[in-house]
Copies of this chain bind each other. A is one copy, B any other.
Amino acid sequence: MKHLLLSAALAASLILPAYGAEPAPIPSPGEIAAAAPASDWVAIAPSDLLVMDLAPDAKGKPRHVVIQLMSAPFSQGWIGNIRKLAAAHWWDGTSVNRVQDNYVAQWGDATEKKALPTGLTAVSESRYVASDPASGQAAVDGKPAIRLSKDEANRRAKQFEQAGKGDIFGGASMADAYAPGVMFESGWPIGYSSAQVPDSRWPLHCYGAVGVGRNLSPDTGSGAELYAVIGHAPRHLDRNIAVVGRVISGIEHLSSLPRGTGALGFYEDAAERVAITSIRVATELPAADQPRFEYLSTESDSFARYADARANRRDPFFITPAGGADICNIPVPVRPVAAK
């Protein structure tokens, strides 16, 4: 097949198929991830998955979107609200109301009049970042401090030291314009307040990130109004809006929606809105319908090799390796768990 962006395109897939019968002489990032041992993959608990069903498309095809909720210690106040909203089936009958090109698709109650469930928390702006003192104590969203294991504290200290030199994986650069340090933690791209052992850190607005719409400060949003990033990472939103998760399946059902022609990409005609049939935490679904996913442990050697290969492409398509990569251009590999 001629005129393809062959290996380049393969690398862009989160789930990277074996392509062709012969293994490449030098594996692509996707091939490295695919070859990782099962022990390097981490199952995502169904209780951390949000399943959004949009109304079927014009051809009657179902549109399922699966969102992985952010791990502690990040954004847990908003995520608590989101769990309550899902349990109340609050989003059922709401809609995607805004799709702005190279920016976000946003959903919620277009009337802005639907009553919220009781018991939602008003989260403080201080929770856009998580505290994690150098002592290894972590005060997490108001819960009692937790102690990092010595190994984990040492691992982080080493990563921070490398981040300070602007090189993380095998000498490749992750130089970043938005944060003093960036790193992966428990499968998520994270920013740090210091390239040394940090005292605060926060989740990043990469492609697919899900965030909480809000009004002007000091409002932080309830979690009822959500958006997914469908364009170049709008990292200027980091620490200004809560990131609560990321789309791990079905992003195309949001990213390929018609763009709104109103200000900020809002649909001008109510008929353009895309109906949301339901949003559920996966544990509320019948067992057979619960999606099962796993991610490549960002603490594994396989991930280090994958990230290095993203930064220094040596597979046959490439002639000039970059020597570095934007953290948002090192998507954490996520894949469905194979049926047994």
Chain A residues near B (Cβ < 8 Å): 1-6, 8-13, 17, 19, 58, 99-104, 106, 108, 112, 125, 128, 166, 172-179, 206-208, 213-217, 221, 224-225, 227, 231-241, 251-252, 255-259, 263-265, 310-311, 313, 316-320, 322-326, 328-329
A234: chain B residues within 8 A (beta carbon): 8, 12, 329
Closest residue of chain B to A2, judged by CB?
B112
Docked CA distance A241–B72 (Å):
41
Docked CA distance A231–B14 (Å):
13
Q: What is the CB-to-nearest-CB distance from A74 to chain B, in angstroms, rounded to a whole number? A: 16
Closest residue of chain B to A253, judged by CB?
B259
A259: chain B residues within 8 A (beta carbon): 252, 255-256
Closest residue of chain B to A106, judged by CB?
B5
Docked CA distance A187–B19 (Å):
39
Closest residue of chain B to A9, judged by CB?
B264
Docked CA distance A33–B235 (Å):
21
Q: What is the CB-to-nearest-CB distance from A335 to chain B, in angstroms, rounded to a whole number? A: 15
* Contact of A319 with B8 in the complex, beta carbons under 8 Å: no
Q: Among A3, A103, A207, A313, find the residue whose CB has the most chain B CB atoms closer than 10 A.
A: A3
Instruction: With A100-B9, A217-B319, A259-B256 as known contacts, state yes or no: A329 contacts B265, CB within 8 Å.
Output: no
A-B contact pairs, 5 of them (CB 8 A): A3-B214, A9-B104, A172-B177, A206-B232, A256-B258
* Contact of B232 with A4 in the complex, beta carbons under 8 Å: no
* Contact of A207 with B239 in the complex, beta carbons under 8 Å: no
A112: chain B residues within 8 A (beta carbon): 1-3
Docked CA distance A17–B266 (Å):
14
The 6 closest A-B pairs by CB, nearest first: A177-B324, A3-B225, A239-B320, A9-B264, A252-B259, A175-B175
A174: chain B residues within 8 A (beta carbon): 177
Docked CA distance A329–B58 (Å):
34
Docked CA distance A145–B27 (Å):
41
A257: chain B residues within 8 A (beta carbon): 256
* Contact of A236 with B325 in the complex, beta carbons under 8 Å: yes
* Contact of A216 with B102 in the complex, beta carbons under 8 Å: no
A322: chain B residues within 8 A (beta carbon): 177-179, 235-236, 238-239
Docked CA distance A215–B5 (Å):
7
Docked CA distance A176–B325 (Å):
8
A240: chain B residues within 8 A (beta carbon): 8, 313, 317-320
A265: chain B residues within 8 A (beta carbon): 9
A58: chain B residues within 8 A (beta carbon): 58
* Contact of B213 with A178 in the complex, beta carbons under 8 Å: no
A235: chain B residues within 8 A (beta carbon): 322, 325-326, 329
Closest residue of chain B to A8, judged by CB?
B237
Closest residue of chain B to A12, judged by CB?
B103
A221: chain B residues within 8 A (beta carbon): 3
Q: What is the CB-to-nearest-CB distance from A13 to chain B, in angstroms, rounded to a whole number? A: 8
* Contact of A178 with B324 in the complex, beta carbons under 8 Å: yes
Closest residue of chain B to A179, judged by CB?
B322
* Contact of B5 with A311 in the complex, beta carbons under 8 Å: no
- Which of B6, B179, B323, B329 is within 8 Å of A233, CB to CB? B329
Q: What is the CB-to-nearest-CB distance from A321 to chain B, in angstroms, rounded to a whole number? A: 8
Docked CA distance A217–B166 (Å):
31
